[in-house]
Structure 1
Amino acid sequence: MFDYISVHSNDYTKKIKSMVLEQYLTRNVGFTKISHLTFCKEINGKLVRLTGIPANPDGSYAFNTLNGIEEVNLIEIDVPRYIDDTIELAISGIASSIAKEFSWIIDDDHGLN
């Protein structure tokens, strides 16, 4: 099992503004902003963390801080350890709603059973 689910633009070329992502996650999906491009939401007693990331065309990335980043093309949803079916279904729904909203894709190796 993986530690996160990746949702990203096809071939990492389409980017979204960080403010657009923030507004969607806080208003539509119920996440709370922790810091720039980092969000969390409690689901059935587990804290789910989500991060917006600027990635290279191959999906790799390296950064010291997300401060100042204005566009992202990758979102990682951290999957907590020892989740139940309710949490798994909720996280899958979050990933699907993000993919649908921005016309992005969910990695095949998505971190859930």
Structure 2
Amino acid sequence: MYDYLSIYSPGYSKTIRTEVLEEYLKFFLNFNKESSLRFSKIHSGELIRVTGILANSKGNYAFNSLDGIEEINLIEIDIPENINDELEKTILNIAKSIAKEYSWLIDLGGI
């Protein structure tokens, strides 16, 4: 099990196109695309991973693959095991930036 922080549309009712998220993460937040809706970057020697997800109205999801998903309403940022104050601040800034861009909410979960 791992910890993560979630960014989601209020009531999971608003979605964004996957290509919109990809462009924002790559060009504004300098993430690299790993695979469909999975992005990462290294900060202070630790991997920060972001995943876009399509969830139901209660925030639940189940998937075998993110291939073919065209819209999302939930973004999860994995919290690295070796988190420190600097890395926590960086992850929070990433989350705040995404939430502000799409007028979404942040659930701090594991932080």
Query: TM-score range, shorter-chain basis?
Result: over 0.9
2:11 maps to which residue? Answer: 11
Q: CA RMSD in A?
A: 0.9
Report SS of the residue matched to 1:5: strand
Shift of 1:111: 1.8
Q: Which amino acid aligns with 1:12?
A: Y
Q: Is there any run of 5+ residues in structure 2 with no aligned partner, and where?
A: none
Q: What residue number does 2:48 align with? A: 48
Q: Give 1:82 shift.
A: 2.1
For residues 83-108 of structure 1, give each alpha carbon's deviation from its aligned partner in whole angstroms, at most 9, with x where no partner exists.
1111000000000000000000001x
Q: 5+ unaligned residues in a row in structure 1: which ranges?
A: none
Is this contact kept in 1: 2:3–2:109, CA < 8 A?
no
Query: Which amino acid in structure 2 is aligned with residue 110 of structure 1?
Result: G
Kindly provide the CA deviation profile for residues 30-62 of structure 1, in whole angstroms up to 9, marking residues without a partner as x. 100000100001011000111000000000000
Pairing 1:10-89 to 2, within 5 Å after superposition: 10-89=10-89
- The residue that corresponds to 2:110 in the other structure is 111
Detail structure 1 runs of 4+ shifted over 2 Å in the superposition.
none
The answer on whether the counterparts of 2:46 and 2:82 sit within 8 Å (CA) in structure 1 is no
Letter of the structure 2 residue corresponding to residue 10 of structure 1: P
